[in-house]
């Protein structure tokens, strides 16, 4: 059956299928994504491929659930925040906010490459306070497409993105976002990361330490951490050794809080 849309790339499709099948394959996680279920129905012929990758499904949903919890915490403190989903793919995290907690004052912007946002624009219905921005976040000046901050709080979310960037690209991105958000009253960056060992043979940036970004850019300070492997039903055999030797998990999530140099003690 034709969906009228080209099949998304494997990376985009696998994350949607993982979230869409979480309630069926990993009900103990309590993670539910109705929007992903509706999106995945369009490519249901590929749904059976995710059932054989239970570890991947669990890790994807653990990451999304933790980042969602950090999002709710931030919005409880700043209900009129500007939320930027970097490299959003086909994720619709704005739709996962509980109805009773979702703030009508918050604005959500999903940022990704033009071909991705074109697919998303056809799939998602228009919604007040939600918009799409087509941009290459590795290019300087792309934040000019974002609205001015104007003393609002800013939440930056990067799920599955940093592993696709080289270290120099990532630091340039961080500097670009730092400059754009100078007038914000509060800024959090929430993201997931993997150690080099967990990504052997892969490409892009791999955190050698959980505090690598905060060391490179001291104004971004660690606020919260999450060890994915510690809660996984399929622990990586090297996780214990990695933590024993280096004191770090193989894979996790982190929240960084921006502190303006003028406000630093």
Tell me, yes or no, whether 85 lies in a domain. yes
The least confident of 86-90, 99-103, 139-143, 158-162 is 99-103
- The winner for highest mean pLDDT among 14-23, 53-62, 108-117 is 108-117
Tell me, yes or no, whether 15 lies in a domain. no
Tell me, yes or no, whether 9 lies in a domain. no
Q: pLDDT for 141-151, tens place per residue?
A: 999 999 999 89
Domain count for the chain? 1
Tell me, yes or no, whether 104 lies in a domain. yes
Tell me, yes or no, whether 81 lies in a domain. yes
Tell me, yes or no, whether 19 lies in a domain. no
Tell me, yes or no, whether 53 lies in a domain. no
Virtual torsion, Cα 155, 225, 89, 174, nearest 10 deg = 60
What pLDDT, on a 0 to 100 scale, did the predictor assign at position 2?
43
Tell me, yes or no, whether 50 lies in a domain. no
Which residue range forms the structural domain that includes residue 94? 58-258
Helices (H) and strands (E) in the chain, counts: 8, 7
What pLDDT, on a 0 to 100 scale, did the predictor assign at position 56?
83
β-bridge partners, 224:
255
pLDDT at 14 over 90: no
What is the pTM (predicted TM-score) of this model? 0.88
CATH number of the domain bearing residue 111: 3.40.50.150
Better-scored residue on pLDDT, 247 or 184:
184
Q: How many CA within 13 A on the CB side of residue 182? A: 7
Calculate mean pLDDT across residues 105-111.
93
């Amino acid at each position: 059956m034709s969906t009228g849309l080209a099949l998304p790339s494997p990376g985009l499709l696998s994350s949607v299928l993982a979230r869409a099948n979480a309630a069926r394959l990993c009900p103990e996680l309590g993670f539910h994504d109705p929007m992903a279920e509706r999106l995945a129905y369009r490519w249901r012929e590929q749904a059976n491929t995710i059932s054989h990758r239970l570890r991947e499904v669990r890790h994807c949903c653990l990451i999304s659930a933790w980042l969602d919890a950090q999002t709710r915490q931030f919005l409880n403190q700043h209900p009129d925040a500007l939320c930027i989903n970097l490299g959003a793919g086909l994720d619709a995290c704005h739709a996962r906010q509980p109805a009773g907690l979702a703030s009508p004052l918050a604005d959500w912007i999903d940022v990704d490459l033009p071909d991705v946002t074109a697919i998303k624009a056809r799939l998602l219905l228009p919604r007040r306070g939600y918009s799409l921005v087509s941009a290459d976040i590795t290019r300087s000046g792309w934040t000019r497409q974002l609205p001015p901050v104007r003393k609002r709080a800013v939440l930056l979310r990067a799920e599955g993105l940093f592993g696709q960037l080289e270290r120099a690209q990532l630091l340039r991105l961080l500097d670009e976002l730092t400059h754009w958000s100078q007038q914000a009253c509060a800024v959090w960056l929430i993201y997931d990361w993997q150690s080099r060992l967990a990504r052997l043979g892969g490409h892009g940036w791999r955190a050698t330490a959980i505090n690598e970004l905060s060391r490179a850019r001291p104004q971004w300070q660690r606020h919260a951490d999450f060890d994915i492997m510690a809660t996984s039903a399929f622990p990586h055999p090297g996780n214990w050794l990695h933590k024993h030797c280096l004191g770090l998990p193989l894979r996790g999530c982190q929240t960084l809080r921006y502190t303006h140099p003028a406000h630093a003690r």
